[in-house]
Amino acid sequence: MKRPIQLLVVDDHPVVRRGIVSCLARHPNFQVVGEAGDGEAALGKARELGPDIVLMDLDLPQMDGLAVTEILRRERPGVKVLILSMHSSAECVMRMLKAGARGYVLKGASPEELVQAIETVEAGETFFSPQVARLALNQLVDGSGEEAAGELTAREREVLIQIADGLSNKEIAARLSLGVRTVETHRERIMRKLSIHSIAGLTKYAIGRGWVTLRH
């Protein structure tokens, strides 16, 4: 008998995680092997459990879904990432594609669409909610999906998210296990690349890209 598709569910809202797990439990060909509520936990569980697919939210404490996806692509290329997010901006979609995600499903999707997405991604193909697919296609058609000159590295994005959370350089250094001077260097590079020179401006930029939400 074929082994069930092993899934890791990642979302920082326990109620949302429970709902997803409950939905998937109705399908005997799925097995939820773990859950995580923040980026660092998601990375640790993916390394430990080696699931077939990670259902990944984008807005996560500690490390966002984009950074986790990029690391998994390098370290665990056999683990497929399926984004399950409320964000539907073209930029979010293109960034996740570049990071290595194999699919992108909106949280407003039906349970049937989620099941179809999991089965499609497990079969080695890609899956996108219709609205997401249209956005990605439009980006490619008009050429705006190419790398921007001011593209941030994964580490710079992590630092920017912490800045938007209101943390000081010292607090960011402690959270990300970096030196204070290293954080200062990252901050300077971020401001230079984005041509933004205020905390308010950086926070607005991070929110606009869907890396943090207003609740942060």
- Domain spans of the chain, in order of start: 5-142, 154-208
Q: What is the pLDDT of residue 52?
A: 97
Q: Measured between alpha carbons, how far is 164 from 135 in angstroms, rounded to an integer?
A: 27
CATH code for the part of the protein at 5-142: 3.40.50.2300
| This prediction's pTM | 0.66
d(Cα 82, Cα 72) in Å, to the nearest integer?
Answer: 12
In this structure, what token pair is assigned to residue 186? 């990252």
For the domain made up of 154-208, the CATH class stated in words is mainly alpha
- Identify the pLDDT of residue 147: 43
Three-class DSSP category at 35: strand
* Pairing mode, strands 30-36 and 80-85: unpaired
Structure tokens at 63: 């490390």
User: Quick check: 97 and 69 in contact, CB under 8 A?
Assistant: no
Residue 5 has pLDDT above 80, yes or no: yes
pLDDT, residue 130, reads: 83
Same fold, 5-142 and 154-208: no
Which tens digits make up the pLDDT trace of 38-49?
Answer: 999 999 999 999
Positive or negative, the Cα torsion across 112, 13, 174, 207?
A: positive
Burial bucket for residue 117 (CB in 10 Å: 0-12, 13-18, 19+): buried
The per-residue b/e assignment along 126-161, b for 16 or more CB within 10 angstroms, e otherwise, is: bbbbeebeebbeebeeeeebeeeeeebebebbbbbb
Output the six-digit token pair for 73.
């692509």
Q: What is the mean pLDDT of the chain?
A: 86
pLDDT in tens, 155-203: 898 999 999 888 999 999 999 998 999 999 999 989 888 878 888 888 8
